[in-house]
Chain A
């Protein structure tokens, strides 16, 4: 019985979204945007749950001196500092309880919230993102070992695509006459990316699209219930 109401709501909402995709007439045309607004409102309330979870977990770890509890102090400090400066002086477009923070802006150039965001947060994010370059190198090193025919093909096509995108690749085949233009590395690279690669990606996208339709039908019809903790 606990699941009957959510299943009815899911069925009705799913059906409405499906129907509104094909009917441009009122009131269907505005239903999608209306439901998206509802979703945003519910998300807004749910943020509080997330913050409570964050605080609870970190305080719990500090209280019981769990492994790495000192990091939790850093997390909580960062959380409260951002909250405090945001409330007191506001953000770029909004004033806080103490106004726009004009005097602080004169000394550091920006409001404290924006200053921390710009000069600490963004750099930390960029640092994490830049790690990707090293991870790509290590993953590529393992992926490009020619153990089987398939991995050898992968290796060869990867080398062609990489060289085709560099000036070295262009110069390597520049001696070829115009009549053999299709053998120029940048052209072979473009061919691999435009045809075999695109075909493979589209096959995955079509499969995923069918999977989404199948999953959606299972959810809308109530056959799949485990996402709400149901039995099936």
Chain B
């Protein structure tokens, strides 16, 4: 009996020792590249007086910073950590600046191989990727996939035909962002399809761009499209040109082209910001048939008001696959639709759980 009490007492003391909250704690910040340590201290220490943090790599302390009032934690980010033990000293001083007490702590920063905060993102990405690959394979096997009609894209040929009949050019604007923006790439893929049509119809295609790298890509895309259409001689290198990187300088140039050249069809497909309405309204005033598309929600109302057809968000990215009629690409669109279904279900389940006060799903996806 006496022995059991002694063992129990020992366990209690051990647990108290293990879980005793230290006044000053330093630990490795999780989910990072091993360059950050988290420092925390009790509120009671701040009540005593001023706090100063000192740091050391080899027991020679230097002042890291004076902590302002009502701050009880600090993240030390230093790229020179690289797996070394870092020592910290927390000095508590009175109002006169005299040292009352000090606490020491140390930790070794470690880099993690996986950011656990991004686990939900990885799961969603994997589900979506598998769905896209599955539907691509289904399409390859010859399965008939239904894709809803996108009026703006169906009207592409009509717009080119109209321009040809009127003897006027077609204007294509790939937005104001560079090649690192997916919207610009989506715009360029549509440009390829459009260029094939203008080549077939012997219609002039004007492509003013605002970024030099987009210029190179656009030239390559249009040139290849004219070659594939069987009319390489019709390709006009001078009709694909650079205007300016400046947002409003670019829009001024575009307005000038619209007013002078009077294109019968305008395609505004890419990333647009404040310049969207200025171009679209000028195009509307010139009487051109206009197709616009962007994934910027704030610019979509302007395009809806001023253009005949608007590709809203995902439709811009679906355009190339839709126009190509290639089963593999159409399969990937079906995969995207499956992703939408998954998200709709998650939203419905999340809303129902939140109504009942259960935040598991919300917490899982909050990172």
Question: A residues engaging B (CB < 8 A)?
Answer: 21-26, 29, 39, 42-43, 46-51, 53-54, 56-57, 60, 67-68, 71, 124-125, 128-129, 131-132, 135-136, 138-140, 142-143, 200-201, 204-208, 210-219, 223-224, 226-232
Assuming the A-B contacts A214-B332, A227-B192, are A22 and B118 also in contact, with contact meaning beta carbons closer than 8 angstroms in the complex?
yes
Question: Which residues does chain A contribute within 8 Å of B193, judged by CB atoms?
Answer: 226
Docked-complex contact B178 and A43, CB < 8 angstroms: yes
Complex Cα spacing A135 to B153, Å: 26
Which of B114, B136, B277 sits near A135, CB closer than 8 Å? B277
Question: Which residues does chain B contribute within 8 Å of A60, judged by CB atoms?
Answer: 238
Which of chain B's residues 297-341 have a Cβ closer than 8 Å to chain A? 297-298, 300-302, 304-306, 312-318, 320-321, 324, 326, 328-329, 332-333, 335-336, 339-340
Interface residue? B230 (CB, 8 A): no
Complex Cα spacing A124 to B225, Å: 37
Docked-complex contact A26 and B256, CB < 8 angstroms: no
Assuming the A-B contacts A204-B313, A226-B193, A226-B320, are A49 and B336 also in contact, with contact meaning beta carbons closer than 8 angstroms in the complex?
no
Complex Cα spacing A229 to B300, Å: 28
Docked-complex contact B252 and A224, CB < 8 angstroms: no
Known: A25-B33, A53-B241. 4 other contacts (CB 8 A): A50-B212, A128-B251, A207-B314, A213-B125
Assuming the A-B contacts A204-B300, A219-B185, are A24 and B112 also in contact, with contact meaning beta carbons closer than 8 angstroms in the complex?
yes
Docked-complex contact A204 and B317, CB < 8 angstroms: no
Question: Which residues does chain B contribute within 8 Å of A46, judged by CB atoms?
Answer: 211-213, 215-216
29 A-B residue pairs with Cβ-Cβ distance under 8 Å, sorted by A, are A24-B32, A24-B33, A24-B34, A46-B211, A53-B212, A68-B260, A124-B248, A139-B281, A142-B306, A143-B305, A204-B300, A211-B186, A211-B315, A211-B318, A212-B317, A213-B125, A214-B128, A214-B332, A214-B339, A215-B182, A215-B320, A218-B329, A223-B329, A226-B193, A227-B185, A227-B189, A228-B220, A229-B225, A232-B329
Which of A49, A67, A138, A213 sits near B128, CB closer than 8 Å? A213
- Which of A29, A49, A206, A215 counts the most chain B CB atoms within 10 A? A215
Question: Which residues does chain B contribute within 8 Å of A200, judged by CB atoms?
Answer: 297
Interface residue? B295 (CB, 8 A): yes
Complex Cα spacing A210 to B338, Å: 10
- Smallest CB–CB gap between B300 and chain A, Å? 7
Assuming the A-B contacts A135-B277, A139-B302, are A49 and B238 also in contact, with contact meaning beta carbons closer than 8 angstroms in the complex?
no
Docked-complex contact B343 and A210, CB < 8 angstroms: yes
Smallest CB-CB separation from A126: which chain B residue? B248
Docked-complex contact B115 and A24, CB < 8 angstroms: yes
Question: Which residues does chain B contribute within 8 Å of A217, judged by CB atoms?
Answer: 129, 132, 332
Docked-complex contact B302 and A215, CB < 8 angstroms: no
Smallest CB-CB separation from B79: which chain A residue? A30
Interface SS of A by simple majority = helix
Question: Which residues does chain A contribute within 8 Å of B220, judged by CB atoms?
Answer: 228-229
- Smallest CB–CB gap between B304 and chain A, Å? 7
Which of A43, A139, A216, A218 sits near B213, CB closer than 8 Å? A43
Docked-complex contact B248 and A125, CB < 8 angstroms: yes
Which of chain B's residues 183-215 have a Cβ closer than 8 Å to chain A? 185-186, 188-189, 192-193, 211-213, 215
- Smallest CB–CB gap between B12 and chain A, Å? 39
Docked-complex contact B317 and A211, CB < 8 angstroms: yes
- Smallest CB–CB gap between A36 and chain B, Å? 8
Complex Cα spacing A64 to B322, Å: 41
- Which of A25, A132, A136, A208 counts the most chain B CB atoms within 10 A? A208
- Smallest CB–CB gap between B123 and chain A, Å? 11
Complex Cα spacing A131 to B251, Å: 11
Question: Which residues does chain B contribute within 8 Å of A218, judged by CB atoms?
Answer: 321, 329, 332
- Smallest CB–CB gap between B25 and chain A, Å? 22
Question: Which residues does chain A contribute within 8 Å of B251, judged by CB atoms?
Answer: 128
Number of interface residues of B (CB under 8 A): 86
Complex Cα spacing A143 to B340, Å: 29
Docked-complex contact A210 and B340, CB < 8 angstroms: yes
Smallest CB-CB separation from A206: which chain B residue? B343
Docked-complex contact A223 and B136, CB < 8 angstroms: yes
Q: Hey, what's the 0/1 contact readout for B92-105 against A, CB within 8 Å counting as 1? A: 00000000000000
Which of B212, B260, B280 sits near A47, CB closer than 8 Å? B212
Question: Which residues does chain B contribute within 8 Å of A228, judged by CB atoms?
Answer: 217, 220-221
Assuming the A-B contacts A46-B213, A204-B312, A227-B221, are A125 and B249 also in contact, with contact meaning beta carbons closer than 8 angstroms in the complex?
yes
Smallest CB-CB separation from B82: which chain A residue? A26
Assuming the A-B contacts A46-B213, A132-B274, are A139 and B128 also in contact, with contact meaning beta carbons closer than 8 angstroms in the complex?
no
Question: Which residues does chain A contribute within 8 Å of B89, judged by CB atoms?
Answer: none
- Smallest CB–CB gap between A51 and chain B, Å? 8
Sorted from nearest, which 5 A-B pairs have the closest CB atoms? A211-B317, A229-B224, A50-B212, A211-B314, A208-B295
Question: Which residues does chain A contribute within 8 Å of B75, judged by CB atoms?
Answer: none
Docked-complex contact A207 and B248, CB < 8 angstroms: no
Assuming the A-B contacts A21-B118, A205-B313, are A57 and B34 also in contact, with contact meaning beta carbons closer than 8 angstroms in the complex?
no
Smallest CB-CB separation from B116: which chain A residue? A22
Question: Which residues does chain A contribute within 8 Å of B243, judged by CB atoms?
Answer: 54
Which of chain B's residues 233-282 have a Cβ closer than 8 Å to chain A? 238, 241-249, 251-252, 256, 260, 274, 277-278, 280-281
Docked-complex contact B132 and A214, CB < 8 angstroms: yes
Assuming the A-B contacts A125-B248, A227-B221, are A26 and B320 also in contact, with contact meaning beta carbons closer than 8 angstroms in the complex?
no
